[in-house]
Amino acid sequence: MGLKTRPLSWPIGEEILDFDIRDDHSAETIAELRDKLCNRGVLLFRNQDITIQEHIKFTSYFGDQPFFPALQRNLHPEDRRIWIVTNIRNDDGSESYTRNTGRIWHSDQSFMPEPCMGSLLHCKEMPPVGGDTLFANACVAYDQLSNGMKKLLEGKRAIHDLNQASVYKERPPRTAEEEAQTPARSQPIFRTHPETGRKLIFVHPDVVTHIEGMTKEESRPILDYLAAQVSKVENTYRHQWQVNDLLFWDNRCVQHYAPLDYDQSDRSNRRLMYRTTIAGTAAY
């Protein structure tokens, strides 16, 4: 088909131009989009005025949308495949469970046996200023490590534990049943992207507690160094949302971060995002 595209930044991201996600897409078009996604990490589709079913249908070209135990609150009442990320209060006046989602660099569902492949986030409402999301290319970050560092950590694993995640200090506590569904799990520090074969840094400051076989104190400087390497400004793209942007990230090679860059105490600053999530495979 020959997609029309333009880069969003040098290290990461591609805007797909003149594209309507609601069309029926050929296998060639989907293969081309998938290739762009794997190689550029993030795809942006602007001006997509879509229903939740159109969002879900487009997502289904890229894989299954299973239930993830960590995403059982704030699901859309009409279809559980849509997860709602918002700062808008619940009908009963209580705070939204997802209002501070993603306030630290992370890779989604990295604590699961099969972390998700990617997510498609659709912007419904956005404050006039701020509400941005940042994305970083974890393959480029790996490439820039010295050979000494690569050798030191090759084959090593780190522990990912959602139950220790920073965000839960602020949220209502998860139930014992929810915690039992997401036990701590070890994942490779350096992951291989299953489609491009590129190596990447697969640790992040949200849920990674320590390196397997080391104490938390010993692990901390190494994990901090790797986190800084992933998130350095030169390696990122900062997305300023417009309503009806649809953004698709490859969760296997991209980390992302939603800073609190607007006044959340001002209730007129409404931010509403709908997300679908695609099944992934075990990290190696």
Ligand X SMILES: O=C(O)CCC(=O)C(=O)O
Q: Interface residues with Fe ion (CB under 5 A)?
A: 102, 108
Closer to Fe ion at the Cβ: 134 or 211? 134
209: left (phi over 0), alpha (psi -120 to 50) or beta: alpha
133 binds ligand X (CB under 6 A): yes
Closer to Fe ion at the Cβ: 223 or 258? 258
Closer to ligand X at the Cβ: 133 or 236? 133
φ, ψ dihedrals at 164, nearest 5°: -100, 5
102 binds ligand X (CB under 6 A): yes
200 binds ligand X (CB under 6 A): no
Contact pick of 11, 59, 87, 108 for ligand X (by CB under 6 A): 108
Least separation in angstroms between residue 35's CB and ligand X is 23
Contact pick of 258, 269, 276, 278 for ligand X (by CB under 6 A): 258
Least separation in angstroms between residue 31's CB and Fe ion is 26
Closer to ligand X at the Cβ: 51 or 240? 240
Least separation in angstroms between residue 108's CB and Fe ion is 4
Per CB under 6 A, which region of 10-18, 47-55, 66-74, 101-109 contacts ligand X? 101-109
Least separation in angstroms between residue 113's CB and ligand X is 19
273 binds ligand X (CB under 6 A): yes
Least separation in angstroms between residue 215's CB and ligand X is 29
Closer to ligand X at the Cβ: 76 or 156? 76
Report, in angstroms and rounded to the nearest whole number, the Rg of the chain calculated over CA atoms.
18
Closer to ligand X at the Cβ: 101 or 219? 101
- Contact at 8 Å (CB) between 218 and 211? yes
Total site size for ligand X, rule CB under 6 A: 11
Neighbouring CB atoms inside 10 A of 44's CB total: 23
109 binds ligand X (CB under 6 A): no
Question: Taking CB positions, which residue lies at the least distance from ligand X?
Answer: 102
Positions that interact with ligand X (CB under 6 A) = 85, 101-102, 108, 119, 121, 133, 256, 258, 273, 275
